[in-house]
């Protein structure tokens, strides 16, 4: 799916998170319409393994009545390279480091927003220091097994539906499950 703005697009509003862009689009009958798309900062998330476990977070945010499940992650602020953001977020939110990083997936979750979610795998993570989260987050970390992690694919509290869809086949297909385990853990 195309994930770029046309050359004649102009930013018409810049908010806290989102920019609104518009352009004159020629239609199939030769008429023109104003088309609109949004832009937001790219984000990263990390599948961080410790032995045979994966770090999973229960997260609360002040504008949400219910906790949700998430991976460590956040925004690529200030044009930061995604891998740098991923290392920073894993250390800030979870307190872990790794020297075995791989970009696994880059997904644009919603075609009307120019926005990529980079999912990294960080193998054999090592505890470095206590987590330090900002005033807009409350995070509790769990270490879950591979099978528990796969159950996120059908867990309503897990907010990343694109990732959920990637995990789901592994619940049903032995070969795919083996391949995914190897991708996450290297064996």
Binding site for its own copies (CB under 8 A): 1-2, 6, 12-13, 15-18, 20, 22, 25-29, 31, 33-36, 38, 62-66, 68, 109-113, 135-138, 153-154, 156, 159, 161-162, 164-165, 168-169, 171-173
Instruction: State which H helix or E strand residue 81 sits in.
Output: none
Nearer to its own copies, 32 or 183 (CB): 32
C-beta of 25: minimal distance to its own copies in Å?
Answer: 5
Nearer to its own copies, 66 or 187 (CB): 66
Nearer to its own copies, 76 or 122 (CB): 76
Would you say 62 and 44 are in contact if contact means Cβ atoms under 8 Å apart? Answer: no
Nearest to 120 by CA among 44, 41, 52, 43: 44
Query: Burial of 46 by CB count in 10 Å (0-12 exposed, 13-18 middle, 19+ buried)?
Result: buried
Helix extents (H) in 26-92: 82-89
C-beta of 57: minimal distance to its own copies in Å?
Answer: 16
C-beta of 83: minimal distance to its own copies in Å?
Answer: 24
Nearer to its own copies, 50 or 164 (CB): 164
C-beta of 51: minimal distance to its own copies in Å?
Answer: 29
Angle at the Cα of 185 from the Cα atoms of 181 and 187, rounded to 5 degrees:
75
C-beta of 107: minimal distance to its own copies in Å?
Answer: 9
Nearer to its own copies, 79 or 136 (CB): 136
- Tally of CA atoms within 13 A in the half-sphere of 167 that contains its CB: 19
Give the β-pairing of 113-114 and 32-40.
parallel
In whole angstroms, how large is the CA radius of gyration of the chain?
19
C-beta of 2: minimal distance to its own copies in Å?
Answer: 5
Nearer to its own copies, 99 or 174 (CB): 174
Measure the CA–CA gap between 7 and 24, rounded to whole angstroms. 11
């Amino acid at each position: 799916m195309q994930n770029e703005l046309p050359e004649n697009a102009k930013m018409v509003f810049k908010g806290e998170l989102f920019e609104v862009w518009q352009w004159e689009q020629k239609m199939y009958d030769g008429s023109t319409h104003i088309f609109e798309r949004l832009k937001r900062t790219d984000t990263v998330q990390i599948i961080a393994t410790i032995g045979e476990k994966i770090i999973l977070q229960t997260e609360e945010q002040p504008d949400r009545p219910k906790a949700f499940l998430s991976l460590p992650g956040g925004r690529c602020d200030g044009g930061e390279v995604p891998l740098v953001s991923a290392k920073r977020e894993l250390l800030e939110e979870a307190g872990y480091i790794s020297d075995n990083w791989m970009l696994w997936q880059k997904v644009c979750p919603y075609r009307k927003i120019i926005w990529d979610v980079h999912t990294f795998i960080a193998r054999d993570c090592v505890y470095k220091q206590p987590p330090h989260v900002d005033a807009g987050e409350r995070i509790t970390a769990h270490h879950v097994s591979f099978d528990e992690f796969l159950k996120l694919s059908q867990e309503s509290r897990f907010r990343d539906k694109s990732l959920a869809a990637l995990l789901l086949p592994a619940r049903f297909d032995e070969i795919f499950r083996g391949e995914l385990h190897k991708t996450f853990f290297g064996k």
